[in-house]
């Protein structure tokens, strides 16, 4: 599966991040279901390669992104690590 995130799909003046998640084997589907219920999550999919899950998150502020990642995603049982990429500019 390939995910193409076109910058034309991203809203202006919105903070957007890609959160790459490592989790315990076999827990991916349950974690994805939980992440999809979090307000601000635009997309959440299972991936191959060094990360198990990719979540695209949009928010009005950096503070609310931090809240989503630190107090929601990272606290889901069986989530081991997250790596966050902030989209710096749109063309």
What is the pLDDT tens value at each position of the chain, 91 positions in all? Answer: 444 444 444 455 678 999 999 999 999 999 999 999 999 999 999 999 999 999 999 999 889 999 999 999 999 999 999 999 988 876 6
pLDDT at 66: 92
pLDDT at 25: 96
pLDDT at 56: 97
pLDDT at 24: 97
Statement: the pTM of the whole predicted model exceeds 0.85: no
Q: For CA atoms 65, 79, 33, 51, give the dihedral sign.
A: positive
pLDDT at 87: 85
Beta partners for residue 82, in sequence order: 21
pLDDT at 14: 77
Distance between CA atoms of residues 35 and 29, nearest Å:
10
Closest CA to 76 of 28, 25, 14, 39: 28
């Amino acid at each position: 599966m390939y995910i193409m995130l076109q910058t034309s799909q991203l809203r202006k003046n919105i903070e957007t991040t890609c959160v790459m998640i490592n989790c315990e084997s076999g827990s991916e589907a349950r974690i994805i279901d939980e992440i999809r219920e979090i307000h601000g999550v635009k997309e959440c999919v299972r991936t191959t390669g060094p990360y198990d899950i990719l979540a695209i998150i949009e928010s009005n502020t950096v503070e609310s992104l931090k809240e989503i990642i630190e107090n929601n995603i990272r606290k889901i049982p069986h989530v081991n690590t997250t790596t966050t990429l902030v989209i710096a500019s749109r063309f």
